[in-house]
Structures are given as structure tokens and as C-alpha cells.
Amino acid sequence: MSLIAAFFAVIRRDLTLAFRRRAEIANPIFFFILVVTLFPLGVGANPKLLQAIAPGIIWVSALLAVMLSLDSLFRSDFDDGSLEQMLLSSHPLTVLVFAKIIAHWLVTGLPLLIVAPLLAVFLGLPEQALGTLLITLVLATPVLSLIGSIGVSLTIGLRGGGMILSLLVLPLYVPVLIFASNAVEMAGNGLAVDAQINILIAIFFTSVVLAPLPAAAAIKMSVD
């Protein structure tokens, strides 16, 4: 099997398994919707207040929803021995790990991307900020999966590694959260967001190039 065929085979396999366990797909989405809709009950239904904090609400909720699903990225493969088979494969582990990250984003990040504009309208986010919100989600949700894959691969062999995983990835998520939410906020105020978008683009490509390498190395250590 060629490398390209193996790459798409891993994506197809993970998507098939994900749709067989539909609860794993639904949980992050329902969590995202629930957290966003609970904020007006906690802070009040003041439209101006909700509009002001809407970018932060949406992005913090999206970040937490992605973190909720991170453990499933390699866990089932570790439990059933699929990771060992990937290590024994003739194909580079980095490429196969990247395929699994893409599959994770398709079942976690992409649904958030679809639901987020509706929740933004619910919170009263200005129309001129909706396009920027979508751009930040397209750029930054893959980064959350890419960075998260490093933390998951480091903790996959540990019992109760969820807390350690949070401590590892949350500091790395902070720049993404700051620039993404700030871009949406500035767009809502009618200000230019070129600088924030360019930084997110740089973070995206840096993560695509670099994140699969330490993730693959950590998997080798965890499995061995």
C-alpha cells in the first residue's frame, strides 16, 4: 500500500469507528452548546454584556469541548493494539499520526465550526464579526487538535492522565485563545484584524509542520 493510500485509509478507518460510537461525536457538540447557552443564565441577559463577552464565551467553550474529546484521539488504538501495528508499519509514523489528527478534527472541530455561528447570533455577536469568527475557527480548531495530540501521546499510557493532559496542553492553548477571541472582538468593533489573523495563520502552519513529530515520538515511548 502506498503512503497516500495508507494516509487516507487511516482517516477512513477513524471516521468509520467514530460514527459507530456516535456518543463520542455528540458529547463535545452538546457540551459546547450547553456551556454557551448557560452563560446568559449566569451573567444575566443584558444584551450589551453578552455581546461584549460573546467572543470569549464561544472560544473558551470551543477549547473545552475539544479538550473533552482529546482522550479519544489515541486511546482506543492504544487499548486494542492498533498503535503497535502502526509502529510496525513500513510507513512513517508521523504521517499516520497526522492522518489521525485530521480525522479527530473532522469529527470534533468541524461540527463546532458549523454550530458556532448559530450560538454567536444567540449571544448577539455583531454580523460583521461572524466572518472573522469562522476564519478563526477554521484556523485555530485544527491547532487545538494538533497541539492536543502531543499531550495525548505523552499521557496515553498513564492511568488517570486527564489531569496531566490538561496541565500540558492548556498553557499551549492560551496564545490561540487570546488571538482568536481578540480578532472576533475587534471585528465586532469594526477594527482591522489582519495582525491577529496573520498570527493565527503562522501558528496553524507551524503546528501542522511540527506537532506530528513530537506526537509520533511520544507514542513510540508510550508504546515501548
CB 106 within 8 A of CB 27: no
Per-10-residue mean pLDDT, the chain, length 224: 86 88 84 91 84 92 91 80 82 91 93 93 91 95 94 80 82 94 92 94 95 90 76
pLDDT of residue 219: 87
CB 97 within 8 A of CB 56: no
Q: What is the pTM of this model?
A: 0.91
Sign of CA dihedral 151, 34, 118, 110: positive
Cα gap 221→214, rounded to integer Å = 11
Cα gap 213→78, rounded to integer Å = 18
pLDDT of residue 18: 85
Cα gap 204→144, rounded to integer Å = 9
pLDDT of residue 161: 65
pLDDT of residue 165: 83
For cell 454584556, name the residue. Answer: 49
For cell 499521557, name the residue. Answer: 155
Residues 6+ apart with CB under 8 A from 14: 99, 100, 103, 104, 107
CB 196 within 8 A of CB 179: yes
Cα gap 10→24, rounded to integer Å = 18
Sign of CA dihedral 12, 13, 16, 19: negative
Domain limits of the chain?
3-223
